[in-house]
Amino acid sequence: MRVSDARYSRDRLRFDLALRLIQHEARTSTIRVWTGLSDDRIRKLYRSYLVEGDGSNLARHRGKSPQQTAFFTRTPAMREESSLLASVCYLLGVMPAGKVADAQRTLPGVQRGAALCEAFENYRDLVQSPRISFEHAVFLVTALARSDEIHATLCRDCNALIVVDRYCLPSRRCSACEAGSQGRLFM
Ligand SMILES: [Zn+2]
């Protein structure tokens, strides 16, 4: 492969990821960090996407990105959704092998970004009315990699991957096993 070809395909991957992130309503800052593209190029992509694609109902998110890990664990239903998304992220290689202290800086990249999109799309397909936005998915992956407030562990009864809060007394059981032990059907 010639240098120019290699550069072309690298740029191509960045643009493909940026378009995918735009479709998932990611913030400009998120797109910049994960693709390495400049704000100016992202704005141009937005514009061409709105003109050519069906971007009419696309939401632009401004303000702060999600920062509360309690979002993922506050109700049994949210714990279940977060655990499902986290499982897909682990399966598709989005998660790093070990704990990462500086996850916000070290995780982003084109390859992991594409895997995260894949995981997010799978999650949206699996859940009837998904409550986790793409920005929250990025936050979930970062928080799990950091492992200081929430972390992933296995249900002690069935070994399913679950997301638990470090500060709360963890039940260490997935919602299905929890519901089973209470003698009622979950959902
Ligand atoms: Zn279980």
Q: What is the pLDDT of residues 143-180, one digit of tens each?
A: 999 999 999 999 999 999 999 998 776 568 898 898 88
pLDDT of residue 96: 94
SS3 call for 50: helix
Find the helix or strand (DSSP H, E) in which 123 lies. helix 110-126
Dist. CA 73 → ligand 1 center (Å): 16
Ligand 1 centroid, distance to 186 Cα (angstroms): 12
Note whether 73 and 168 are within 8 A (CB).
yes
How far is the centre of ligand 1, averaged over its atoms, from the C-alpha of 172 (Å)? Answer: 8
* Residue 126 CA to ligand 1 centre (angstroms): 18
Q: Which pTM value belongs to this model?
A: 0.88
In whole angstroms, give the CA distance from residue 55 to residue 63: 21
Q: What is the pLDDT of residues 73-128, one digit of tens each?
A: 999 999 999 999 999 999 999 999 888 989 999 999 999 999 999 999 999 999 99
pLDDT band at 186 (very low <50, low <70, confident <90, very high): very low
Q: Which element (helix H / strand E) includes 150?
A: strand 150-154
Q: How far is the CA of 123 from the centre of ligand 1 (A)?
A: 19
**DSSP output for 5-19:** HHHHHHHHHHHHHHH
pLDDT of residue 54 exceeding 70: no
